[in-house]
Amino acid sequence: MVNFGKKLMADQIPEWKGYYINYKLMKKKVKQYGQQLQQGEKDRRRVLKDFSKMLDDQIEKIVLFLLEQQGMLASRIEKLAKQRAILQEQPDISGIAELREAYREVGLDLIKLLKFVDLNATGIRKILKKFDKRFGYRFTDYYVTSRSNHPYSQLQQVFKHVGVGAVVGALSRNLAELQERQGSYLSIYDQPSSALKDPIIDMINSSVDKLTRSTNFLRFLGQHALIVDEESPSTAGEEEIEDQKYHFMSLMLNLVNTFLYMVNTYIIVPTADDYSVSLGAASTVCGVVIGSMAVAQIFSSVYFSAWSNKSYFKPLIFSSIVLFLGNVCYAIAYDMKSLTVLIIGRLLCGMGSARAVNRRYISDCVPARIRMQASAGFVSASALGMACGPALAGLLQWKFKIYMVTFNQATLPGWVMAVAWLLYLVWLSFSFKEPNRATEVNDATQNPASGQRVDIGQLENGLARPLLTDSENKQNGDEDEEIDDSEEAAEDSRKPATSIGSAYRLLTPSVKVQLLIYFMLKYAMEILLSESSVITNHYFSWNTSAVAIFLAILGLTVLPVNAVVGTYISNMFEDRQLLMVSQITLLVGIIFSFKVTSTYSVVQYVASALITFVSAEVLEGVNLSLLSSVMSSRLSRGTYNGGLLSTEAGTLARVVADCTITAAGYLGVGKLLNITLLPSLVICATSITCTFLTYNSLF
């Protein structure tokens, strides 16, 4: 791997050479400033002023050239529009074909311009980060805030590509309308879903989607899964390797595993308090019963993630067996009159959590062209399982005995899930296909040389990464052997983290804040869900069916809320804006949940629960979407990956929340609500403060 400076030189378009950021010069200036500060030749104030002016000059050079090229493209499109108007009056097949090729040439030049913006935006981000790390300043915060918020901001031209959208729209519309549609000249605005797309349009749309970081419901759901796309395959050979690893039925088995596990997690929530009481414990011990599964999951996530480096089939088999045994233990604890057996059963269920394997299979074995759909399927399966668990518990209201084995609302969830996992185990044994590991090794060791000629394949590959995020692999320093703390030697620059410690060192302050936010929202959600049966029984005398319906309704809000946020809201506001607003809304929901008067109404509880849960769902989607973009690419592979870190943060939050419920229960059920809400309030306020302090680095 070459460093960014060499990559910038290699990927430059020769005729545009003088308009790129002078990254080499700026790196030398940063080093020179360091020497001058040490020798006392300049003070910090002077260094900041000089560096700001130099960076302003570089950005101005880039922006003026960008505007010039946009104008040239617009002028070419305008001339072609006149030719198209003539052809509409006097249709000529050869003329239409020539015009279409002319539009395609404009499209290729537009993609070259987008790649120009990509390289310069990455260079700006890297040099700002290098400056901060060299001098220990928060210069990036100051620079971005002062430049981005200015009415004449040139930085916005680079990062928001003002004006490019109009060129993209005009080009896409004209190319689409030139497609052969049986003589029809309907506009894409009339039939947007049925319009045939030119390959160039797909390339442009993909490029602009990355540049603007605009999203849709599918992509928003996919980013929920925190399955990071490093880069798309750029050659037919790489696509063939991916196809060899992909097996549709194996993917379905992973998604079903995800669904069943989430059902298994939440199916006991409506009845856990009654089950605890029937075994002679307090109703608030339901916190320990529910949370014991999360305790085991903290450890199981690590060994399943490590196991998936060698196999996918064996860990899934092991998971199914352990979950079968765990549910049997959970069910027979009633007749054994043993709370210990009950908790052991839930611990075994947590030890069978194969979500790390499910994520890893999608990341490693699903072709890039459908990976986003598979990731969205992973999130949808989780959401559906979360809703179906309590709903299923509400239906299991029978009571009977078979050979001294009791079947009632407390034990039936265990028996039903045991049968489900047994059937899944049989299906898995016959239908799963282990991917060929040899293809993964070959794929990982390929190092294709990059050519100098700019063609469609290279342009597509160059634009496959987010343009506005620092997702480049950590690389060497420059020719002066200056090495940042965040950059490793070339041989290590793409290696995954090998321990929790090395993974932690890859986390920037903004990523740490986002993991704190994830911990906070999972804590708030777990408090709400796990104590719902106790709280509603104490204040409203709800039965199991009522609690099950309430929890199922909450679970069913997940997909609609994500649809609205992913399709509309996320395209209107920046992720960091949504991040802040959703945290504040969550804080409002928590405050509204407190019992501050002598009476506590159903309306107050249900309304506050909806505000809290929906806000947490929005926050989770936005947070993981942003996290998947800014997290180091080294955390997208290996055992200690980004998905594992987020899972551990969320699981730890659930454990702490469930323990809080049980501990607070010793003070009485009447005080349970307010006591368990206090930590949620404090953690939420802390996360909002941390988000505010790192706000300018969340882009």
Predicted confidence (pLDDT) per residue in 303-332, tens digit: 898 898 889 999 999 999 999 999 999 999
pTM above 0.75? Answer: no
Q: Which of 584, 579, 605 is nearest to 674 (CA)?
A: 605
Task: Count other C-beta atoms under 10 Å from residue 525's C-beta.
Answer: 25
Provide the pLDDT for residue 219.
Answer: 60
Q: Which of 123, 99, 102, 120 is nearest to 19 (CA)?
A: 120
What CATH number was assigned to the domain covering residues 245-433+505-694?
A: 1.20.1250.20
DSSP string, 337-354: T-HHHHHHHHHHHHHT--
Provide the pLDDT for residue 295.
Answer: 92
| Distance from C-alpha of 261 to C-alpha of 266, rounded to nearest angstrom | 9
| Distance from C-alpha of 69 to C-alpha of 19, rounded to nearest angstrom | 11
Provide the pLDDT for residue 471.
Answer: 38
Residues of the chain short of pLDDT 70, as ranges, are 1-2, 136-138, 141-142, 145-146, 148-165, 178-198, 201-202, 205-245, 372, 437-497, 571, 628-639, 698-699
Q: Kind and range of the H or E element at 52? A: helix 44-89
Provide the pLDDT for residue 541.
Answer: 93
Provide the pLDDT for residue 389.
Answer: 92
Provide the pLDDT for residue 48.
Answer: 82
**Burial of residue 528, with CB atoms counted within 10 A of its CB: 0-12 exposed, 13-18 middle, 19 or more buried:** buried
Provide the pLDDT for residue 221.
Answer: 63
| Distance from C-alpha of 651 to C-alpha of 295, rounded to nearest angstrom | 7
CA distances (Å), 240 to each of 230, 449, 451, 556, in order?
A: 18, 19, 22, 39
Residue 155 DSSP class: H
Q: Which of 568, 610, 551, 557 is nearest to 586 (CA)?
A: 610
* 3-state DSSP assignment of residue 658: helix
For the chain, report the end-to-end CA distance as a whole number of angstroms: 26
